[in-house]
Amino acid sequence: MSNLAIKPPEQFNDPKPLPLVAEAERSTPYPIDALGEVLGKAARGITKGIQTPPEMSAQSVLAAAALAVQPFANAVLDGRPYPLSLYLLTIAESGDRKSAVDRIATLPHKARQRQLFDSYVEEYQRFKNENDAFEVSRKLAIEANKKKGKEAITMALHEIGLPPEEPKCPTLLSQEPTAEGLIKGFFNGLPSQGLFSDEGGSFFGGHSMKDENRLKSIAILSQFWDGSDINRTRAGLGESMTIKNPRLSAHLMIQPVVAEKIFSDKELTGQGFMARFLVASPQSIAGTRFYNGLDLTFDKSVIRYHSLIEKLLLTPPPVNYKGTLTPRSLNVSRDAKALWMDAYNAIEAQLAPKMELVNIKPTAAKTAEQIIRIAGVLTLVDDPNANNIGAECMERAIQIGSWYLKEALRLTQSSDANCDFVIANKVKDWIIDKELKLVTVNCINKNKVAKLNSAKRGREILNLLEDNGWLIRLPADTMVGGKAVKESWRLSRNIQQKHS
């Protein structure tokens, strides 16, 4: 008997407790070939050369392409125009080469921005000289007609004419502007811009997303995604402004710890803002990226991609005399519409109560529109002069849109599982701290451990602890407090021994 009393923990029949960490479900392979001849091969080339997850490369080239084509056309279905702007969000750890991928994908954009700024410096100096001359002319006209009265001064000023027009600031890419900064940037700058950052956490953690600014910023960024006119009314002279038909595409790269905060923020998710993002969270391949010596400056697929994007960026965007974009209509063909309708109806059916997509309703409800936008981007990449979205591009867009929908579902389910494990850890720690011999659902709920207050949730968490070896289920009708209970558990003896 004495030998039995001193058995070490490994000799108990109780299982060894497992770490309370949710096992990450792998994402399905990204349909890179659906991106097309140029984007797809470039994504594969970047993936191989930089040694990065293919999802990250795909995200980067798709976002960069959207920025390049968005000013030229709107996809049109049944008379409804859809901008070709896309918002993308990539979740990856530090060290997963986010910066390297983004740098290759946006190389033509940054080169074009440098060219525009070089010209802008000269144009601004010319404007400054003309404006100084204009101001001097006004002062001389006023001085010369001062004694002749108001009408003479007015006539003289009319003869001088309007002031010279200040050149637009050629910002093509912004990294972490405030929402107000974006508005001013569009008002004083290009009508088509991109919000791209390989450190997207600085945007979500910056001034725009502070408590007092968050709702306003969300509303403004949502308007940009919609391509809606943005009106800002202020009391101060010259502070009110209107931006008509702007186009903004975005690609923000963030770390998982930032993503957890973002997707647990009810204001960001509840307003439908995050549902506008195409999200990818690729598994890290760190530990397998042995040096391969590939030079992407000689990669034919990357060179072809850069050449196409450069050509698009050098093409003047269609604007009216006020500088407002006037994108042409890119009509969805009959065959493409039939394919899209099937995808739309399949998604809608899964939004019914108890169906698969009900927990990601905001994202799923926008997927059909995302598919149209992606189809428009793919169409103009294949043929910048196209006037219709064909069935082949729509079919590819449906493949890509479906992948993003599955990824959103995977990430939501993973988040829910992580939440359960966090709660289970709290319950386990409470049981150990209280040195309970037996535990029941009622005991957990009565004490509101981890804020559990329903029998269903309490049972789910205790079952999770049982499945992972922390609790051992006792026979039905075990006596607890002088009463027989149907369900009860005890701590694994391995844990009791460890904490004794």
The distance of Cα 500 from the centroid of its chain, to the nearest Å, equals 48
Burial 341-365 (b: 16+ CB within 10 A, else e): eebbeebeebeeeeeebeebeebbe
208 or 412, which is more confident: 412
| Weakest-pLDDT range from 18-32, 160-174, 200-214, 384-398 | 200-214
Q: According to the model, what pLDDT value does residue 77 have?
A: 97
Average pLDDT of the segment spanning 108-119: 93
Q: According to the model, what pLDDT value does residue 5 have?
A: 45
Tokens 């050369």 correspond to 49
User: Nearest 5 degrees, angle CA 156-CA 159-CA 163?
Assistant: 105
Average pLDDT of the segment spanning 398-417: 86
Instruction: Report the DSSP pairing between strands 241-243 and 80-83.
Output: unpaired
User: Nearest 5 degrees, angle CA 381-CA 386-CA 387?
Assistant: 135
Tokens 């002319």 correspond to 137
Q: Which two tokens stand for residue 72?
A: 């030229």
pLDDT at 311 over 90: yes
pLDDT in tens, 87-112: 999 999 889 999 999 999 999 999 99
Whether the CB-CB separation of 63 and 249 falls below 8 Å is answered with: yes
Report the candidate in 112, 127, 161 with the shortest Cα–Cα distance to residue 141: 161
pLDDT in tens, 33-44: 999 999 999 999
Q: What is the phi/psi pair of residue 318, to 5°?
A: -75, 120
323 or 347, which is more confident: 347
pLDDT at 418 over 80: no
Sign of the alpha-carbon torsion through 184, 190, 191, 194: negative
User: Which of left, alpha, beta for 477 (phi over 0: left; psi -120 to 50: alpha)?
Assistant: left
Pairwise CA distance, residues 457 & 221, whole Å: 37
pLDDT in tens, 239-287: 677 889 999 999 999 988 888 888 877 777 777 889 999 999 999 889 9
pLDDT at 118 over 60: yes
Average pLDDT of the segment spanning 70-98: 96
pLDDT at 449 over 70: yes
Tokens 């051992």 correspond to 472
Average pLDDT of the segment spanning 190-203: 89
Report the candidate in 221, 241, 239, 222 with the shortest Cα–Cα distance to residue 231: 241
Q: Which two tokens stand for residue 331?
A: 């009509």
Average pLDDT of the segment spanning 330-354: 96
Pairwise CA distance, residues 402 & 35, whole Å: 13
| Weakest-pLDDT range from 128-137, 196-205, 437-446 | 196-205
Out of 270-279, 374-383, 478-487, the most confident range is 374-383
| Weakest-pLDDT range from 74-83, 99-108, 260-269, 363-372 | 260-269
State the average pLDDT for the chain: 88
Q: According to the model, what pLDDT value does residue 23 have?
A: 62
Residue 489, C-beta contacts closer than 8 angstroms, at least 6 positions apart: 438, 439, 440, 462, 465, 466, 471, 472, 473, 474
Average pLDDT of the segment spanning 314-342: 96
For residue 431, CA distances in Å to 3, 132, 418, 471, 483 come to 29, 78, 20, 10, 20
Instruction: Report the DSSP pairing between strands 328-332 and 277-280.
Output: unpaired
Pairwise CA distance, residues 281 & 452, whole Å: 30
Model-level pTM? Answer: 0.80
Pairwise CA distance, residues 146 & 51, whole Å: 74
The distance of Cα 192 from the centroid of its chain, to the nearest Å, equals 19
Burial 130-143 (b: 16+ CB within 10 A, else e): eeeebeeeeeebee
Whether the CB-CB separation of 321 and 58 falls below 8 Å is answered with: no
User: Nearest 5 degrees, angle CA 194-CA 197-CA 201?
Assistant: 130
Give residue 72's identity as a one-letter amino acid code.
F
